[in-house]
């Protein structure tokens, strides 16, 4: 299902938009009329994503960069502004993850995830501020349930994404006066993504994940895109500073779905 919005004439810049959930978000904005830019480290992924977005009719742009390098992030948003114009919708979704126990992780391993997810989000939001369309711009930071549900082998991601959500809330306070809204979207387990391949690499782990979701299934990237589009639309003009789970109820931490289905008479 592809929800319909009208983003004709809007400029969207998606950091980490070259694969998985973020590419799904980029595609949805493209389908709904936006000019879309994506940025990530690997040039081949950037080129492939731009080609996909152009096929969907978007005047797409791509930048190869690492969000850990603030000067490169600044250069990309400036180049986009100079060729296309102000950014209406900014999505910060670049992230790294690998399962590792706290005791089995080097300081550099922990720091890598903090630098990509947390520092990267700060770099992206701060660098883009000057070229956001004001008033009216929307920032979406892509978080994870690890921000508020502690998870074994995820101390780095838990710390980083909790920080991402506090950046969301702080910037909503600091930038609201300029008419910039800032929200987090929190995907639950999303099918066919690098994130789930890393966290649930076996059929058993996949089944256990599905069992733990009240709605009894993994989500689709398009379902995260719907939330990002809603929060960036005029329908959400009075929504800022929210952290919105889109996770089939997973983060409620309730009963496994099979047991719940019995309770519900299913």
Per CB under 6 A, residues contacting ligand HXC are: 95-98, 100, 105-106, 108-109, 112-113, 144-145, 157, 189, 194-195, 198-199
Measured CA to CA, the distance from residue 45 to residue 226 in angstroms comes to: 23
Interatomic CA distance for residues 100 and 110, integer angstroms: 9
Tally of CA atoms within 13 A in the half-sphere of 143 that contains its CB:
32
- Parallel, antiparallel, or unpaired for β 89-92 and 61-64? unpaired
Q: Closest residue (Cβ) to ligand HXC?
A: 96
Between residues 178 and 252, which has the closer beta carbon with respect to ligand NAP?
Answer: 252
Could you tell me which of 88, 92, 91 has the C-alpha nearest to residue 120? Answer: 92
Q: Which does 19 bind (CB under 5 to 8 A by kind): ligand HXC, ligand NAP, none?
A: ligand NAP
| Residue 206 found at the interface with ligand NAP (CB under 6 A) | no
Q: Does 19 bind ligand NAP (CB under 6 A)?
A: yes
Residue 71 burial (C-beta neighbours within 10 Å; 0-12, 13-18, 19+)? exposed
Contacts of ligand NAP in 117-156 (CB under 6 A): 142, 144
Shortest Å, Cβ 194 to ligand NAP: 3
The Cα–Cα gap between 187 and 176 comes to: 24
Residue 190 interacts with ligand NAP (CB under 6 A)?
yes
List the one residue out of 149, 165, 182, 153 whose CA is nearest residue 249.
Answer: 149
Q: Which is nearer to ligand HXC, 198 or 262 (CB)?
A: 198
Which residue of this chain has its Cβ atom nearest to ligand NAP in the complex? 20
Closer residue to ligand HXC, CB minimum distance, 44 or 264: 44
Q: Whole-angstrom Cα distance, residue 15 to residue 45?
A: 13
In 10 A of CB 192, how many CB atoms? 12
CB of 1 to ligand HXC, least distance (A): 22
Question: Residue 187, interface with ligand NAP (CB under 6 A)?
Answer: yes
Per CB under 6 A, does 184 bind ligand NAP? no
In the bound state with ligand HXC, the residue whose beta carbon lies nearer, of 52 and 246, is 246
- Residues forming a β-bridge with 190: 219
* Residues near ligand NAP (CB under 6 A): 16, 18-22, 40-42, 45, 66-68, 93-96, 116, 142, 144, 187, 189-190, 193-196
């Amino acid at each position: 299902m592809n929800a319909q919005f009208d983003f004709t004439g809007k400029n969207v810049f998606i950091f980490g938009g070259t694969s998985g959930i973020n590419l799904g978000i980029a595609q949805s904005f493209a389908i709904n009329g936006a000019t879309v830019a994506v940025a990530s480290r690997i040039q081949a992924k950037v080129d492939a994503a731009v080609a996909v977005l152009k096929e969907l009719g978007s005047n797409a742009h791509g930048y190869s960069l690492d969000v850990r390098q603030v000067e490169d992030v600044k250069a990309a948003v400036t180049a986009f502004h100079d060729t296309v114009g102000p950014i209406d919708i900014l999505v910060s979704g670049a992230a790294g993850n690998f399962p590792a126990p706290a005791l089995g992780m080097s300081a550099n391993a922990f720091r890598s995830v903090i630098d990509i997810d947390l520092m990267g989000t700060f770099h992206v939001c701060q660098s883009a501020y000057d070229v956001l369309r004001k008033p009216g711009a929307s920032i979406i930071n892509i978080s994870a349930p690890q921000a508020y549900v502690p998870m074994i082998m995820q101390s780095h991601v838990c710390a980083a994404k909790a920080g991402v959500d506090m950046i969301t809330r702080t910037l909503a306070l600091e930038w609201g006066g300029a008419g910039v809204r800032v929200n987090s979207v929190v995907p639950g387990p999303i099918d066919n993504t690098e994130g789930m391949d890393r966290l649930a690499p076996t059929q058993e782990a996949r089944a256990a994940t599905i069992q733990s979701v009240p709605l009894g299934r993994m989500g689709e990237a398009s379902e995260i895109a719907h939330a990002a589009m809603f929060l960036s639309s005029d329908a959400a003009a009075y929504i800022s500073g929210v952290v919105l789970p889109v996770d089939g109820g997973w983060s409620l931490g309730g009963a496994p779905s099979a047991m719940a289905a019995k309770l519900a008479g299913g």
